[in-house]
Amino acid sequence: MSKYYLNYLDELEAEAIYVLREVWAQFQKPVILFSGGKDSIVVTHLAQKAFYPSKIPFPLMHVDTGHNFPETIKFRDDLI
């Protein structure tokens, strides 16, 4: 993997963290929708990085359809 590629990924991560902080600053009741899939796990991880060492200042919203793996529910509960 080239150094350029890693720098680009670092830039994308920094931009995502900036956006999460701006959302918190500008909106009244932001929420992270959490399905347990790869996309919501990445967004949750970025939010953790954005507000570290504090906890994520807005709630995670998960709709339990009853069709989730038990591991998904445990992972969700461990995040909160």
CATH number at residue 65: 3.40.50.620
State how far the Cα of 23 lies from the Cα of 72, in Å rounded to an integer.
Answer: 26
Q: Please write down the HEC assignment for all residues of 24-78.
A: HHHCCCCCEECCCCHHHHHHHHHHHHHHCCCCCCCCEECCCCCCCCHHHHHHHHH
What is the residue range of 15's domain?
Answer: 3-79
Domain count, the chain: 1
Answer for the pair 58, 31: CB distance below 8 angstroms, yes or no: yes
Which residues of the chain have a pLDDT value below 70? 1-5, 80
25-34 pLDDT, tens digit per residue, is 999 999 999 8
Mean pLDDT across the chain, nearest whole number? 90
Report pLDDT for 73.
Answer: 86
